[in-house]
Amino acid sequence: MEIPIFRYHPDPFATDAFERSDDPVVCDSCAQATHVFYSGPFWAVKSPNALCPTCIASGRAAKIFEGEFQDEYNLEEGVDDPDKLDELIHRTPGFRSWQQEYWRAHCGDYCAYLGETGADELTARGILDEVLADPTLDDNARTFIKESVKYGHVVSHLFQCLVCDKYLVWPDLS
């Protein structure tokens, strides 16, 4: 199944935000059968069982359930465009974390979420020094990033700036 393009979450299959099912499930937003459904976080008074990618991308799911895919109070500052905020919290699949999710921003826009990673993967990509040089990180965060292991108890969530392509991380631990 072809899914919509999510600017701030470009590969939601790689990050396990969407699941595929051989047996169709019914989207609680549009009542259509789908083989692809959202399995990430969604904050609403009444939580749906399944949401299709189309209802997320259009904003229909967030509107119907009066919910958000990101907590608007856990976003990095520096984005002053209400349309970008609306796209991120109402039309972009979220990601799971041990602690509260935190979405990075850079160059006046939210970054693209690339997934969970660790220090070894950051080193293999040649970007460990780049992410550690981030002036917004404190010494504890830098230590956690150096100790992070993909799918471990200390991980790094990798983001990339959509304007300048800079990589940023957000450390997370259980």
Q: Which residue has the higher pLDDT, 101 or 110?
A: 110
- Return the pLDDT at 1: 64
Please give the distance of CA 30 from its chain centroid, rounded to a whole number: 23
Q: pLDDT band for position 17 (50/70/90)? A: very high
Reported pTM: 0.94
Across 41-60, average pLDDT: 95
Of the listed ranges 107-111, 124-128, 147-151, the least confidently predicted one is 147-151
pLDDT at 47: 86
Q: What sign for the dihedral angle of Cα 126, 160, 53, 153?
A: positive
Please, where are the H alpha helices in 6-81? 53-58, 60-65
